[in-house]
Structure 1
Amino acid sequence: MTATLTAERIEVRDFEDFQALALSKTWQDGLPLVPPTEDRVAAMLTYCDRDPSFSFGTVAPYYGAATVEKLAIIAVMAGCAPEYFPVLCAAVDAVVQPEFNLYGLQATTSPVTPLLIVSGPLADEIGINGADGAFGHGNVANATIGRALRLVMIILGGGTVVPQVDRSTHGFPGKYSFCAAENVPATPWDPFPVQRGFDRSTSTVSVFGVHGFHSMVDIVSDDAADLMLTLSAGVAATGTNNMTHGGEALLVLCPEHAAIIGRSGWSVSDIQHFLFEHARIDMTRLPEGFRTYLRSRRPKWVDQDRYPVVDRPEQHQVLVVGGTGIHSVYLPSFGSTVAVTRPVLDAAGDPVATLAALRS
């Protein structure tokens, strides 16, 4: 379709002038931005069959409308290729869902950010990395899609550091970008979205409100129970929001650890129940004042000295991401949030299998 763009046109002299403008308008994350020319924005809409005025919702806490046109402008600024745009749209669709609690993530003092996990055929087609170094630097799709979501949160949601809406005490490098693919070939179970009822042929984006991760190394265990004891000890960390708020927690297994657990015949449910029973905090190690506070926050566990990280086994979310090596990671959550999975859909609401189905 031929897109009709309605955004205000602003004339700038050059690249540097646009950077100064973006800084003055707080349209920035501290890194240089790509000027969103009309041609670039039109190109960004190549793989979108929705009207530019269509809105996925509003972005808390300033509640700017997440229209297709605005998202395309921001995607250009973040450096996205047009092929990445459908994934960004699904990510925005996920974070604006009420249960994700974007307002809380944006305004808290906690160092929390949305983690994007892309699953399905589009992840491979556009080259999102879910293997070696997936959470790090070096992949354009990972970096720019994650960055684009952060810019959406800043520009449309008001999540700026100055003026202070984002009140995170220390911040977190993942606030620049935190996006990867699920390593489906290395997953011994159904992929994460399939466990949530989606078809394998449907591309999805799952968002998790997480803190930075804790790396857990076990180079010895070759049995699921032994390995899970190691990982449970790491998950039972004190001082996390999960300890004070409950909520969901995320265990990201490396392929080698996942293979050990899979060979032992364990299911995801087995992992969740093992974590629930063994990833528990020793309350006797905490001062009485803090123990009293925890009992007031999570009274269900008031009489127990071994305090669970989550309130129900299924709140332990499990993924496989990463490459060679024996490092799995635990990502505590914000607590007051739940993971949301949204499919990549066309304008008719049908799941998208390939980019060709979206080409406008």
Structure 2
Amino acid sequence: MTAVREHSSVDEVRDALEYCYAQGWTDGLPVVPCTERLLAEFLATTDRGPDDVLLTMPHLGRSCTVRLAALNAAMAGCRPEYFPTVVAAWRSMTTEGYANGVMQSTTGTAPLIIVNGDVRAEIGINSAGNVFGPGFRANATIGRAVRLGILNVFGVRPHALDQSTQGTPAKYTSCIGENQEASPWPAFHEAHGFASAASAVTVLTMRSAAHIEARHTTDAEQLLRDIAGTVARTGAMMFRTSSSCLVLCPEHASLLAGQGWDRAGIGEFLFAEARVTQQQLDAVGKGGISRQQHWRLPRGHSDAIVDDQIGADGNLHALTSPTAVQIVVAGAANAGVSTVVDIFDLIGGAPSIVPVETAGRRFEDGPGTRLDEVVALLARDGFTAAWDLDPDGGVTVRIGAGSADCAECLAPEPVLTAIVSKALSASRFHLKRLDLPAH
């Protein structure tokens, strides 16, 4: 590396950087000043209009439009060709369900962005060694683009709307690719109905991450018990139960698959083995459940009720269900080191996987787009919504009561069916089923 020779244009850039700092537009690191010409290059990569809304936080009365997302992607250091992946990340956050108040949580949550398909090679997404670390522009800047949007568009800044007690390094950026080529199983998005080559993005709301150092064993069940021990740590149990994203290194994935384990079997095993006892919970003051929030409390607390999910044997399954573990393969095949990422329970039980849409390919890989607008509309009325895609092109839309007062406040089923069907009419997909909250 060498210092840049004295040049007036360099000084102008420095002045522009200082201006961005003065406006409060940064995450503490320098940003790329965005000119109108650069903004136009970003907007040209998508068929969406600049004023199309990608994400709304109703309680803040603020929305992220395509134009605002592009501005923050440019400032984050993205290349224009990264922008469709950034847009897909924003869309996944909409249907993932936790993009509202959780981003202001004292826990210090962050979006974990997982990228699948051909776009990884097209834009240089790292899926292998040091996948959670630095060194790759696409990973670093795509994750940062979303975080800058949370700061600049929604005003969720530290010491203000962001109430994180300590936060996490992932709040700067957290974007990984799945190492599909080293995975013994179908890719993560492929397991949910997408073609292997189809480019797609999944966002999970992460709370924390812990390494599994398991270089010592070639026995699959020993490895899984080691993982289960990390999943079931009492420090992760803020609520009654928890959910995880298990990021397996290729070595661990190959070991498990070689002994007959698939994703479903791993989930079943971890659900059975990731247990804590009433005694362990009492020892850390988490033996009871809040009657109001279902948070863990000491059993003697005035708001505590008995945890009726603790069995007669005194054991509690730490995971919400066998499907509460999302399994991704990433990293290098050079050591037995995997990661357990604590995440919030998935609304509707399925991850929010959305296609990457480039200009001229708006509906190529998934329903998205106008369907996401329906999801955002429901969210403004206090309901939650998410959708799943079947390999045959059928879409299942799940609507939950969320923060709405009652299921009766929802529009009648025939009206909702017509709205969703119309949203899908411009694509090659069709409505398969509409799941509504019980009355």
Please say if 1:117 is aligned against 2:106. no
Question: Normalized per residue, which structure has more helix?
Answer: 1
Higher relative contact order (CA 8 A, sep 6+): 1
Where do residues 306-345 of structure 1 align in structure 2 (5 Å cutoff)?
A: 306-323=315-332, 324-335=334-345, 339-345=351-357
Code of the residue aligned with 1:231 in structure 2: it is I
Identify the residue that residue 72 of structure 2 maps to in structure 1: 74
**What is the rounded CA distance, in whole Å, between the counterparts of 2:140 and 2:232 in structure 1?**
30
Question: TM-score when scaled to structure 2?
Answer: 0.72
Please say if 1:234 is aligned against 2:226. no
Please say if 1:244 is aligned against 2:239. yes
Code of the residue aligned with 1:134 in structure 2: it is V
Correspondence for 2:136 among 139, 143, 146: 139
SS at match of 1:212: strand
Question: TM-score when scaled to structure 1?
Answer: 0.87
Code of the residue aligned with 2:97 in structure 1: it is F
Identify the residue that residue 147 of structure 2 maps to in structure 1: 150
Q: Using a 3 Å threshold, how does the CA distance of structure 1 residues 206 and 63 change in structure 2: closer, same or farther?
A: farther
Question: Normalized per residue, which structure has more strand?
Answer: 2
- Can you list the C-alpha shifts for 1:77-135, whole angstroms capped at 9, x where unaligned? 000011111100000011122x4211232111002111000001111211100100010
SS at match of 1:90: helix
What is the percentage of aligned positions where both structures have the same residue?
A: 33
Q: How many residues align?
A: 338
Q: Using a 3 Å threshold, how does the CA distance of structure 1 residues 292 and 52 change in structure 2: closer, same or farther?
A: closer
**What is the rounded CA distance, in whole Å, between the counterparts of 2:286 and 2:242 in structure 1?**
19
- Can you list the C-alpha shifts for 1:54-94, whole angstroms capped at 9, x where unaligned? 22232465343322222111111000011111100000011
Segments of structure 1 that go 5 or more residues without pairing to the other structure are 1-12, 354-360
Code of the residue aligned with 1:56 in structure 2: it is L
Identify the residue that residue 217 of structure 1 maps to in structure 2: 213
Q: Using a 3 Å threshold, how does the CA distance of structure 1 residues 59 and 145 change in structure 2: closer, same or farther?
A: farther
Name the stretch that deviates more: 279-288 or 231-240. Answer: 279-288
CA-based RMSD of the aligned residues comes to: 2.3
Correspondence for 2:282 among 254, 278, 287: 287
Correspondence for 2:51 among 53, 73, 81: 53
Q: Using a 3 Å threshold, how does the CA distance of structure 1 residues 207 and 63 change in structure 2: closer, same or farther?
A: farther
SS at match of 1:57: strand
Code of the residue aligned with 2:175 in structure 1: it is C
The structural deviation recorded for 1:47 is 2.1
Larger Rg: 2
Where do residues 179-194 of structure 1 align in structure 2 (5 Å cutoff)?
A: 179-194=175-190
Q: Using a 3 Å threshold, how does the CA distance of structure 1 residues 297 and 312 change in structure 2: closer, same or farther?
A: farther
Name the stretch that deviates more: 276-285 or 322-331. Answer: 276-285
Code of the residue aligned with 2:309 in structure 1: it is W
Identify the residue that residue 10 of structure 1 maps to in structure 2: none
Name the stretch that deviates more: 114-123 or 224-233. Answer: 224-233
**What is the rounded CA distance, in whole Å, between the counterparts of 1:102 and 1:49 in structure 2?**
24
SS at match of 2:364: coil
**What is the rounded CA distance, in whole Å, between the counterparts of 1:298 and 1:28 in structure 2?**
46
Checking the alignment, whether the CA contact within 8 Å between 1:203 and 1:351 is kept in structure 2 is no
**What is the rounded CA distance, in whole Å, between the counterparts of 2:277 and 2:174 in structure 1?**
31
Checking the alignment, whether the CA contact within 8 Å between 1:276 and 1:310 is kept in structure 2 is yes
SS at match of 1:47: coil
Q: Using a 3 Å threshold, how does the CA distance of structure 1 residues 253 and 84 change in structure 2: closer, same or farther?
A: same
Correspondence for 1:160 among 157, 162, 166: 157
Code of the residue aligned with 2:241 in structure 1: it is G
Identify the residue that residue 309 of structure 2 maps to in structure 1: 301
Correspondence for 2:123 among 122, 126, 138: 126
Checking the alignment, whether the CA contact within 8 Å between 2:89 and 2:202 is kept in structure 1 is yes
Checking the alignment, whether the CA contact within 8 Å between 1:106 and 1:165 is kept in structure 2 is no
Segments of structure 2 that go 5 or more residues without pairing to the other structure are 1-10, 290-295, 367-439
Q: Using a 3 Å threshold, how does the CA distance of structure 1 residues 279 and 126 change in structure 2: closer, same or farther?
A: same
